[in-house]
Structure 1
Amino acid sequence: MKVVLQRVKQAQVTVDEEVIGKIGTGFLLLVGFGPDDNDETLDYLVHKITNLRVFEDEAGKLNLSLKDVQGSILSVSQFTLYANTKKGNRPSFTEAAQPEQATQLYDDFNHRLAATGIPVATGKFGANMQVSLINDGPVTIIYEK
């Protein structure tokens, strides 16, 4: 599983000119799955993401978590995180999970995030999505499990 996390002031995802997910302060997650991902992988990353301390406290130190600032998550599926660009100029995506498996993992991941009490908005798996954001910092963290 690969996740690109961006701390944002706001973010939204649009499909067919309709906003389907929108948040204020929080994390935009670009999420990709590999064929070996499972419940353990999901639980590990849910814990890491929901407890990540990258928001400033009263002293200006990155010491607060998403829960501490009452932030939200916008989770967007992105199989292209598994692009292999070693040969030629056209990326290969054979290292990504198959759509049936990835859809289930994405749904499970988002349900587990929401179960922590953090509001979660999502994109639409497999859709052509337009994602816009105001990156805060910028703070970008890459997880790979």
Structure 2
Amino acid sequence: MSNDGVRALEVVSADFLGFSRVLEKVIKTELESFQGLSGQFGLFDDVDGVQARLQRLTAHILSALETLRDNGFEDSALWATSRQLDLLDSLLEQLDRYVAVADLRGATLTSGDLLKKLQGWIKTLREWLTGVRKQLAAIAGEA
């Protein structure tokens, strides 16, 4: 792989590392608060499951990106990582739906600020993933 390819993978890895740190902060603050609230609206098991999958998948993608960066890459590995990013995005979308369900079930009356904050974070994180996917697509096009 060329030096440009290595540098590009370093950028993507660093960008996704930043994403994973922000996601972990969101999980430890807003999502845990929402999780406590979600039981009142029949969503605790759902939100708990999404949180666990978000954390596992994020760790797996981070590891895959580091492997790509350190060992070069094959197109199939790059494609697989890109699909995992799509899965991560779908988990964030699923979480956003749970926030909407809680809102429809009356959570806004007691926790409207938390719901708005969480929806804002989800939007930001999904946009971030779009950027990471674009970076991987650009790398794949250069390979």
TM-score by length of 2: 0.30
Q: Which has the higher helix share?
A: 2
TM-score by length of 1: 0.30
Q: Which has the higher strand share?
A: 1
